[in-house]
Structure 1
Amino acid sequence: MNVALWIVSGLLAAVALVGGITKSFVPKAKLAAQHGGEWTEGASVGFVKTLGVLEILAAAGLILPAAVKIAPVMVSVTAICWVLLMIGAMITHRRLGQGKLVMVNLVYLLLAVFIAWGRI
């Protein structure tokens, strides 16, 4: 079980890190031009960058507390926060008629639920 939790945490952390770096450092106009990034057209630059920073922090929060054994419960807290973020992403993508992205977000949500449950 512990190995599965580490694998899932690593995968989800990688997703969060890539998404966070993209939102933090890629210009908003370029994001809006990509498939799946259309939601940024109606969002401020500050909001997009803030989401990016939160995703980078989530990547760290999914790995570091358990790895260094300091406040390992924070992994579960981070995973629950990721669930909330994915609910917002699902709502946003659904409004834009992007059903495939809703399903991708659902998979990420379920992975986060597994981590939150397993690391309690």
Structure 2
Amino acid sequence: MNTVLWILQIVLALIFLGAGLLKTTRSLAALETRVGGWVHDVPLPVIRLTGVAEVLGAAGLILPRGLDVAPALTYLAAGGLAIAMVGGMVVHAKRGEHKEVAVNVVLLLLTLFVAVGRF
């Protein structure tokens, strides 16, 4: 079980690190090209804050357990990312973007699995 959790943590960390870096470093026009038109429904500061939270969440999935420093932060990071996925589901559902909602649901379930597994 530990191996499965580590694999999931690494995969999720890479996904959220990439998404977070996009949201924190790209212009609104570049974001629209990469992630879609939803960026016009959300204020840019909220997008940037979400990106920072995703980068920190990615670090929280790996570093606490990897360094054996405050390992409880791992399940808290996974829980925080799960909450972010609920927010993403709401944004995409309002826009009728069902494929993106499905992606958020899968990421939500995986982050919840890690959170429960590491609790």
**TM > 0.5:** yes
Cα RMSD for the two superposed structures: 1.0
Gaps of 5+ in 1: none
Q: Distance in 2 between matches of 1:45 and 1:86?
A: 18
Paired residues in the alignment total 119
Distance of 1:52 and 1:81 partners within structure 2: 13
TM-score (norm 2): 0.95
1:101 corresponds to: 100
Q: What's the CA shift string for 1:21-61, capped at 9, x where partnerless?
A: 10011101221244x43111022221111111111001100
Aligned to 1:37: 36
CA distance in 2, matches of 1:103, 1:42: 19
After superposition, residues 1-120 of structure 1 pair within 5 angstroms as 1-34=1-34, 36-120=35-119
1:44-101 residue CA offsets vs partner (Å, 9 max, x unmatched): 2211111111110011000000001111111101111111100010011011111111
SS in 2 for 1:70: coil
TM-score, normalization: structure 1?
Answer: 0.94
